[in-house]
Amino acid sequence: MVTAMAMANTRRRMHPVLTAMVDFHTHILPGVDDGSHSVEESLQMLHAMPEVSCVIATPHFYAWENTPERFLRRRTAAWEQLRERLDDTVPDIRLGAEVCYFEGICRSDELHSLCIEGTNVLLLEMPFEKWSSRALHDLLELGHRAELRVVLAHAERYESFYHKRDWQHVADSPIMIQCNAAFFLRLRTRREALRLVKDGHIHLLGSDCHGAEHRAPNLDEAAQVIRKNLGEDALCEIDRLALRLLDGKGAE
């Protein structure tokens, strides 16, 4: 089996830049959610990320709209359309999902099918409203489930929805933190984003790209910001962790 590390190395040879970057959160599959509208748009997006070696395709999964089976059928259909147009000038793609929180998620036994393929990694989106004690409880319980590795999607976007005291429980849990490239690119949040990377609080990066024009791939630019301010090692550390997760080796 070709490992994520080997795939990343292949592309690194083609693009002799420094890191083997993983875009952990994208809406790159055509016609499956509010991301790419067509195979052509997906290809444009993939060609707009020259430093990225591996892209995780994470279409939205909403439990109140879809069953996992129906979602996976649609995802497979979109992937098959795109796959036949790919060549080795674009990053490798792994299939996953951005699973939106629903009440009772921590008791669901259907989550494994929504993890990134070949792993137990679940990308979880929390509500964009004040987190209820129930939601926080479910998040923490899910985060402590031994058979799952929960990654909190675009964690920087929830700051106004939780109490700082509650956040400490999340920070102390096994839950991993993914932040979006935009967090590093906006001048008003850049300093905070860099501080969190420096202190080891951001584990994974994603562009959360939705199209070739609107919410376009931007992880390469965020990488430049990190590299310039914190050095190549900070970026390599994040990429190393992402590749280990994709190889099913856990976070340590």
C-beta of residue 19 within 8 angstroms of C-beta of residue 238: no
Q: Which stretch binds Fe ion (CB under 5 A): 7-15, 138-146, 166-174, 207-215?
A: 207-215
Using CB under 5 A, pick the residue from 33, 51, 92, 208 that binds Fe ion.
208
Q: Which stretch binds Fe ion (CB under 5 A): 46-54, 62-70, 202-210, 231-239?
A: 202-210
In angstroms, the CA 216 to CA 206 distance is 12
Residue nearest Fe ion, CB atom distance: 208
Which is nearer to Fe ion, 92 or 98 (by Cβ)? 98
- How near is the Cβ of 22 to Fe ion at its closest, in Å? 15
Does position 239 interact with Fe ion (CB under 5 A)? The reply is: no
Cross-sheet strand order for the sheet of 21-26: 21-26, 52-57, 92-95
Question: Residue 192, exposed/middle/buried by CB under 10 A (0-12, 13-18, 19+)?
Answer: middle
- How near is the Cβ of 208 to Fe ion at its closest, in Å? 4
Which is nearer to Fe ion, 23 or 98 (by Cβ)? 98
Residues 73-132 close enough to bind Fe ion by CB under 5 A: 98
C-beta of residue 47 within 8 angstroms of C-beta of residue 92: no
- Bridge partners of 152, per DSSP, are 124, 177
Which is nearer to Fe ion, 23 or 208 (by Cβ)? 208
- How near is the Cβ of 35 to Fe ion at its closest, in Å? 8
Residue in this structure with the two tokens 């490798």, named with its chain if needed: 92
Which is nearer to Fe ion, 98 or 138 (by Cβ)? 98
Q: Which of 180, 188, 221 is nearest to 58 (CA)?
A: 180
Q: Which of 27, 98, 26, 28 is nearest to 63 (CA)?
A: 98
Which is nearer to Fe ion, 215 or 227 (by Cβ)? 215
Chain residues that interact with Fe ion, rule: CB under 5 A:
98, 208
